[in-house]
Structure 1
């Protein structure tokens, strides 16, 4: 059982992997593991469709070719079991004391961690970046993706422990916790 689970949420191209990697290196990889809830989804989708799983893990045009179909496929599985991909994602990380979850997308993801780990310190982190910054990182609005549940379910009705503005420099401010990061990254 982990002592702490830090759960990140954001929009596409806000920098969740960048920040998760920085936090993991600050804490130390010997006690901290990065969990990507989308990894088992991408693995199962690639296997079922005969496509390259490794390419789906990258920020690439290849992944964008399959994103809409992959989201629809994943929604079909989640309709039967909203926790399916969460359960698969955490299995390899039982030995780590700190888990960094990079990509919570739905309220059911947060509910899973609250229900399964009621005695573990959960820190909910929202990463923000302006549209201008996201566009500079290669984001383009896609109807059916950027306005879908997988991008919007966590936009309202939640209180985040920490909100990180990840525009030009990493800046953070706490909303419910006394948590700060003292580094800037360009």
Structure 2
């Protein structure tokens, strides 16, 4: 099935346990599956990593200890793939997307954004999800050296002019989230 040209692409980034999945899932639920799809760059990465290393893909896609056990090696492996082909995981993630609105829930590197900006310059919008370290710790985050200070977590901390920044405050999304949702509705 061929990919349909999108009207809008929302490129989400943020630290681990910042609430990216929560926000992207909320927008997806409100707009509906016929209007938008959630694309995850980590899915094709994890799928290929699991295949190459004989691992359980379902466990790698989850939020449990299994994924954490392989996270550092998976990050290093993914970086090696990106050196060979910076758009490899992006192309796999969008393959077959049919909806007019794409929500990419996990852009983590400048090369991810650059690929979308190059391939879909007029449709791409960057959204940053932020949460305090305290909030992230309440969600189970623990700083891990070599992971939380790696490019996969810090690659977009500087040098990106985000269209919207969504700051999680309790259960509510700030004005950035409302603007992002409004843009999706009006695409």
TM-score by length of 1: 0.91
Aligned to 2:93: 89
Aligned to 1:163: 165
Taking structure 1 as reference, are residues 180 and 111 closer, same or farther at Cα in structure 2, changes over 3 Å only?
closer
Q: For structure 2, which runs of at least 5 residues remain unmatched after alignment?
A: 183-187
Q: CA deviation at 1:167?
A: 3.8
Write out per-residue CA displacement over residues 45-72 of structure 1, whole angstroms, 9 at most, x where no aligned residue: 0011111101111111110000001000
Deviates more, 1:7-16 or 1:157-166: 157-166
Deviates more, 1:162-171 or 1:18-27: 162-171
* One of 22, 25, 43 as aligned partner of 1:21: 25
Q: For structure 1, which runs of at least 5 residues remain unmatched after alignment?
A: none
Secondary structure in 2 aligned to 1:92? coil
Q: Which fold has the larger relative contact order, with Cα–Cα distance below 8 Å and residues 6 or more apart in sequence?
A: 2
RMSD value, Cα = 1.7
Aligned to 1:133: 135
Instruction: State the aligned residue count.
Output: 178
Larger helix percent:
2
In 2: Cα distance, 1:26 partner to 1:133 partner:
25
